[in-house]
Amino acid sequence: MPLDTPSNAAEEAAHRPAPREYPLRGMRGMIATKMRESLQSSAQLTHHAGADVGAMQALRDHCRAVGLPVPSVQDLLLRLVVQTLGEFPALNATLEDNRITEHAAVHLGLAVPLPDDLLLAPALFDAQAISLGALPGARRTLVEKASAGKLGVRELTGATFTVSNLGRSRVHHFTPILNLPQVAILGIGGTQWRAVPDDDGSVRLAEVIGLSLTFDHRAVNGAPAAAFLDTLCERIEALVPDAFDAELADRKKEPSEP
């Protein structure tokens, strides 16, 4: 194989495309400013945990077997997150002007990726009142509004807790950045097969999903944040197959998500 010579290198450089440059402005610039302000003005810390999704898959298999709509893993997780927030109001909170507000309703922010590497997290209002059967439609409507640029100010600023989902990637854990003034955000990562201890002392293989909770240490201490993650993981792993039959029965059967 011939070695590169200075003339060859110069010729290659002459034909190399010029670097792409563009200003950080508009919505991308606004998002960048908010991310920087979030890190500069809060005390952010992230806990990581993992949960066996076997019970969730068993629930989905049960739904297929009895003819119920099959919920996606994402919608199941969102429903369980909302239920868990009901037990941890300190996480469903905002911090403004040195005043913490714990919200009675869960206005669930959903991170929505848009073209040109943009990201919004509009609020799904009163998520605690949305059944698992109605959740896919409500979520799709919100995503469609975001994609069409039809979100209002209230939807863009009204969330009390946010979920960011990278579950379709190989990323198992990550560090989501708080969407201020919220005090917590949950990152959902992809799954990995791991050896885990079984009840009888043996070891088995389990599909484990990564969960990452970033919280503002000014408003929430490490122990209650860990308790929230522990409870969420236990809720995921303790699901019984018919747990949401009643919530799914009223929804017309639609093509299920993978």
| Distance between CA atoms of residues 68 and 74, nearest Å | 17
Regarding beta strands 203-216 and 184-197, do their DSSP bridges make them parallel or antiparallel, or are they unpaired?
antiparallel
- The percent of residues in the chain predicted with pLDDT above 90, rounded, is 79
Question: What domain range includes position 149?
Answer: 45-249
Residue 133 inside a domain? The answer is: yes
Please report the pLDDT score of residue 258 as a whole number: 42
Report phi then psi at 69, rounded to 5: -55, 140
Q: Please, are residues 204 and 196 in contact by the beta-carbon 8 Å criterion? A: yes
CA–centroid distance for 33 within its chain: 21
| Distance between CA atoms of residues 124 and 61, nearest Å | 28
| Distance between CA atoms of residues 180 and 176, nearest Å | 12
Which residues are bridge partners to 45 per DSSP?
215
Residue 32 inside a domain? The answer is: no
Residue 134 inside a domain? The answer is: yes
Which of these, 138, 133, 87, 134, lies nearest to 108 by C-alpha position?
A: 138
Which residues are bridge partners to 46 per DSSP?
214
* Residue-wise pLDDT tens digits, 156-207: 999 999 999 999 999 999 999 999 999 999 999 999 999 988 888 899 999 9
| Distance between CA atoms of residues 74 and 72, nearest Å | 5
Q: If DSSP states are collapsed to H, E and C, what string results for 81-109?
A: HHHHHCCCCCCCEEEECCEEEECCCCCEE
Mean pLDDT value across the chain: 92
Residue 80 inside a domain? The answer is: yes
Given 15, 47, 172, 217, which residue is catalytic? 217
Which of these, 196, 195, 190, lies nearest to 172 by C-alpha position?
A: 190
Please report the pLDDT score of residue 7 as a whole number: 64
CA–centroid distance for 221 within its chain: 21
* Residue-wise pLDDT tens digits, 81-124: 999 999 999 999 999 999 999 999 999 999 999 888 889 999 99
CA dihedral 29, 35, 38, 40 (to 10 degrees): -80
Residue 6 inside a domain? The answer is: no
Which of these, 134, 138, 137, 140, lies nearest to 249 by C-alpha position?
A: 134
Q: Is 254 or 230 the better-scoring residue by pLDDT? A: 230
Residue 19 inside a domain? The answer is: no
- Structure tokens given for 64: 């297929």
CA dihedral 67, 72, 75, 80 (to 10 degrees): 80
Q: Would residue 173 show up in a list of annotated catalytic residues for this protein?
A: no
CA 258, 169, 207, 239 torsion-angle sign = negative
- Structure tokens given for 177: 């950045």
What's the mean pLDDT in 51-78? Answer: 97
Residue 111 inside a domain? The answer is: yes
| Distance between CA atoms of residues 48 and 230, nearest Å | 10
Q: How many domains does the chain have?
A: 1
| Distance between CA atoms of residues 76 and 150, nearest Å | 27
Given a cut of 60, whether residue 254 has pLDDT beyond it is: no
Residue 8 inside a domain? The answer is: no
CATH of the domain at 158: 3.30.559.10
Please report the pLDDT score of residue 138 as a whole number: 97
Q: Residue 255, preceding bond cis, omega within 30 degrees?
A: no
Please report the pLDDT score of residue 3 as a whole number: 56
Reported as a pLDDT band with limits 50, 70 and 90, residue 241 is very high
Given a cut of 60, whether residue 219 has pLDDT beyond it is: yes
